[in-house]
Chain A
């Protein structure tokens, strides 16, 4: 049958040949519904975190001792109150500050440290590589949460220790990833050419090799931020994370756990909050991987 031929276009304003790879990636990302949903949810949480004082109906530490353990739907307290009369909704909103900031800091530390180690290890090879990879193997030999719990137990549970310990235990993931990418890129002709014209090692590493690794680092960062938020909540649940009265989702679950029999609704909302953020980050990570991956394969 006669069909009208449609000119192929990737949807961006520039003429086809000038459409950059990033624009193509954004286009692929936007077509993935789940990834967009994830991004929207994440933005929602970020807005909550930044504008918490304006959004939350009460303060996070505001106790109302005449309204303890109120169920959701009580006037003034949309999601109820906890054991000390604090509004659950406000604590959830302020708690997003803690979770998101810990996630961000942990991923930044781990990504920067891990990428640097991976670059050095992959680029210089031989003994440097062997040494760094042995260290990575030793870190990886520890079950993640166990090393984290032991370190926090000894260093003391507070926000900064959580961030630092989680960051320091997560870097091997990035190091191994970046190293494998570097090993592949290192053999390409243009690297040899750069060396031939006299580029220093540092310049080659950061200007030529690194930009090609960035995509996989970004995808891993999104997924591992989800893991960091889960770990923070787990530490909070065990009592080893951010200490009360600071509102943290895991700690809220820990406090509600004791009242499971009498006030069972209290465990719902912090758990849902954690799940939503992690879900959003997972969707985002999946979408990023699909958007950036075909580019990688080219």
Chain B
């Protein structure tokens, strides 16, 4: 998993981080990227099928929600 976002760890608190799907992978694991370029393998099975470019809310290595486009 990518490092913490400045002074604020993405898994130490009950907070999620918005990430963009860079590359949909096999077995429900996709490569995602944070705002500041941090990459991580993210399990996406809880948010259904994702496509490259989709925005998801990630917590502790798992996407728990999709961000809706305005």
* A joins B in a complex: no
Which residues of A line the B interface, CB within 8 A?
A: none
Which residues of B line the A interface, CB within 8 A?
A: none
